[in-house]
Amino acid sequence: MTQRRKVGVIVNPLSHKNKSSISALVAVLGQQEDVPHVILRDVATIPDDLRKFSKQGVEVVAVAGGDGTVQLVLNGILHDRCFETQPLIAILPRGRTNMTAADIGVKGRGARGLDRLLVAAGRTNFDQYVVERRILCVENVKDLPPQFGMFFGGAGIWRAVDYTRRKVHPLAMGADATSALAFARLLIHLLRLGKGEDDLFRGDDIEICVDGETVDRGTSLVVLATTLDKLLLGSRPFWGIGKGNFAFTQFAHPAYRLWRYTWRLLFGAVDRSLPDPHYYSTGADRVELKMSCPFTLDGADLEPDETNSMILTADRKIGFVRL
């Protein structure tokens, strides 16, 4: 008889979808005596919860939450080293945007996704569901140790996330509708640049060094780095990445003929052609950013240590269960 991979589940009741429908998920967990789980009261306990899972022999950490909860679990595994043997991660998408889960997560809402995961964990061919991804490490974050995640966004990216929280999230729509509306509103803002709209997408002065070479990119409208294959709504705003552990992209400010290049920027082919030096993308192993503006890492609002350049690398890998 096949022995099931031991699964442990972390549920964040404050994640968007869990706020309204957590009962079915909790009911399934209540029927699984061999599946340790925790309903978070405080995300600060995640490292301790992971250490308990390690002592219980958990091999797969299932995260029923959003991108932010996943980011905290990554910190617990990679920075706090809560496991002696690194576990796999299975993401049950219960947040508002779930960008990481859309790329490398478990499909199925709540309890249905958990059921699929537990069934798969008992199969002899479970390894076929595992995909390895590199994890971004961001050093020199203000008042914090190195932070781990899948998506870094600075300059206009951070302001776009902040705008979405303030203007779109209060509308209380479903996650997919929220993403689509936020995407549309932000695109309209971008296309209206130079027409007196507002400073949502103003430029930021950022010194950029890619793999030891200083890159003079002028004022930045957008800087982003990721190890994901696709972002919001399946967009891929990175190209020509070739070798390198992660993708790094920068748009200059002001945006040059953005109305003409928007589709190609977001959904173009791998070898898409865009006017240099206005739009820049490459594969990188190390990026240094000297900046003063806030940034987001998987939805978390963070600030740089302005006395040192932030250092982005992606030397570590984790296996994710994609079902």
Give the CATH number of the domain where residue 262 resides: 2.60.200
State yes or no: pLDDT of 181 exceeds 80: no
Clarify whether residues 194 and 119 are in a common domain. no
Using CA atoms, how far apart are residues 207 and 216, in angstroms rounded to an integer? Answer: 8
More confident of the two residues 186 and 92: 92
Instruction: Give the pLDDT score at 110.
Output: 78
Per the structure, how many domains does the chain have? 2
Clarify whether residues 126 and 156 are in a common domain. no
- What does pLDDT average to over the chain? 87
State yes or no: pLDDT of 58 exceeds 60: yes
Over the stretch 230-269, which tens digit does the pLDDT of each residue have? 998 888 999 988 889 999 999 988 878 887 888 898 889 8
Clarify whether residues 93 and 171 are in a common domain. no
Over the stretch 103-161, which tens digit does the pLDDT of each residue have? 999 988 778 999 999 999 999 899 999 999 999 999 999 999 999 999 999 988 888 77
State yes or no: pLDDT of 169 exceeds 70: no
Please, which pLDDT band fits residue 196 given cuts at 50, 70 and 90?
very low
| Residue 61 within any structural domain of the chain | yes
Instruction: Give the pLDDT score at 197.
Output: 45
| Residue 146 within any structural domain of the chain | no
Say which CATH number the domain at 39 has: 3.40.50.10330
Clarify whether residues 291 and 206 are in a common domain. yes
Give the torsion through C-alpha atoms of 25, 27, 32, 37, to 10 deg.
50
Instruction: Give the pLDDT score at 178.
Output: 54
| Residue 263 within any structural domain of the chain | yes
Clarify whether residues 74 and 191 are in a common domain. no
Clarify whether residues 123 and 160 are in a common domain. no
Clarify whether residues 155 and 292 are in a common domain. yes
| Residue 182 within any structural domain of the chain | yes
| Residue 145 within any structural domain of the chain | no
pTM: 0.89
Query: Which of 106, 134, 162 finishes a domain?
Result: 134
Considering only CA atoms, which of 36, 38, 130 is closest in space to residue 90?
Answer: 130
Over the stretch 15-37, which tens digit does the pLDDT of each residue have? 877 777 888 888 888 888 889 99
Instruction: Give the pLDDT score at 18.
Output: 78
Clarify whether residues 125 and 14 are in a common domain. yes
Instruction: Give the pLDDT score at 194.
Output: 45
Tokens representing 258?
């953005």
Clarify whether residues 63 and 182 are in a common domain. no
Where residue 194 falls (left for φ over 0; alpha for ψ -120 to 50; beta otherwise) is left
| Residue 317 within any structural domain of the chain | no
Instruction: Give the pLDDT score at 172.
Output: 56
Range ranked top by mean pLDDT from 91-100, 110-119, 194-203, 282-291:
282-291
State yes or no: pLDDT of 303 exceeds 70: yes
Provide the 10 A C-beta neighbour count for residue 41: 9
Clarify whether residues 67 and 187 are in a common domain. no
Tokens representing 283?
């594969």
- pLDDT > 70 fraction of the chain, expressed in percent and rounded: 87
More confident of the two residues 8 and 177: 8
| Residue 83 within any structural domain of the chain | yes
Clarify whether residues 277 and 167 are in a common domain. yes
| Residue 2 within any structural domain of the chain | no
State yes or no: pLDDT of 198 exceeds 60: no
Using CA atoms, how far apart are residues 269 and 265, in angstroms rounded to an integer? Answer: 9
More confident of the two residues 169 and 93: 93
Instruction: Give the pLDDT score at 195.
Output: 46
Clarify whether residues 123 and 156 are in a common domain. no
Q: Which domain does 177 fall in, by range?
A: 151-297
